[in-house]
């Protein structure tokens, strides 16, 4: 992997982590409303899970598991 590719992956990782945090706050805000929109919450949670999986994929690329 070139330095440029690594830098781009790290930038993407930072962006995905930020979006993951934002979704966490949005879900919390929706859950604390008097009449929460359960369908919207479910969609946001599904998006959050997708982001978590993508974050893990990128972390695996950047920090490969080295077995001896």
Average pLDDT for consecutive 10-residue bins of the chain (68 residues)? Answer: 94 98 97 96 98 96 76
Q: Given the structure tokens 């949670």, which residue do they identify?
A: 45
Residue 48 CA to chain centroid, in angstroms? 6
Indicate the SS3 state at residue 11.
helix
Q: Which structure tokens are listed for 22? A: 């934002």
* pLDDT of amino acid 16: 98
Q: 40: closest CA among 50, 51, 29?
A: 29
Query: pTM, whole model, 2 decimals?
Result: 0.86
* pLDDT of amino acid 67: 65
* pLDDT of amino acid 1: 84
């Amino acid at each position: 992997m070139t330095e440029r590719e690594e830098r781009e992956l790290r930038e993407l990782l930072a962006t995905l982590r930020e979006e993951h945090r934002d979704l966490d706050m949005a879900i919390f805000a929706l859950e604390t409303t008097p009449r929460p929109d359960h369908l919207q919450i479910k969609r946001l949670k599904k998006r959050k899970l997708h982001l978590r999986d993508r974050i893990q994929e990128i972390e695996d690329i950047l920090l490969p598991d080295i077995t001896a």
